[in-house]
Copies of this chain bind each other. A is one copy, B any other.
Amino acid sequence: MLSIQEISNILIEQNIKPSFQRIKIYEFLLKNNIHPNIEIIYSNLSKGIPTLSKTTIYNTLKKFEEKGLILSVNIDEKEIRYDAILKTHGHFKCESCGEIFDFDYNYNDIKFKGLENFILTKTDVMVKGICNKCKLKNKK
């Protein structure tokens, strides 16, 4: 796990001034690979930082995404979720329990027919369905 100093250095490398709030938010994303929404980040961090505001979280996540430090995940119609894992992967949302799972796929396997001259900057494979746990639960 990364130290505060290491996290701070990552922010500086990305041209983001490492404030206390920003370090804590990025640390939370790194430690909790749960594609959190603003609410989850807020309720977890505000315990330790009572003055933390949601506006700061919104501002921070927007800046992180602009700088390429994190990705927003749009699989949930209602709210934006965030992911600090930059390695290519897809997202599965279980429509029964609501949980979001990462899965691997091979980017080069996909032939994007019709986008030959386009510049592709972000790809996300979004899958919905029922996860194995819920599938077994519902069988009973």
Residues of A within 8 A of B (CB): 72, 74-75, 77, 80, 90, 92, 94-95, 101-106, 109-115, 117-132, 135
10 residue pairs, one from A and one from B, having the closest CB atoms: A104-B113, A119-B130, A117-B132, A103-B114, A122-B128, A120-B129, A121-B129, A119-B129, A109-B109, A124-B126
Q: Output the least CB separation between A127 and chain B (Å).
A: 5
Closest to A132 in B: B117
Docked-complex contact B135 and A127, CB < 8 angstroms: no
- Could you say which residues of chain B place their CB within 8 Å of the CB of A118? 92, 94, 129-132, 135
Pair B122/A112 contact, Cβ less than 8 Å: no
A sample of 7 inter-chain contacts (CB < 8 A) reads: A72-B77, A92-B120, A104-B113, A112-B127, A121-B129, A124-B127, A125-B125
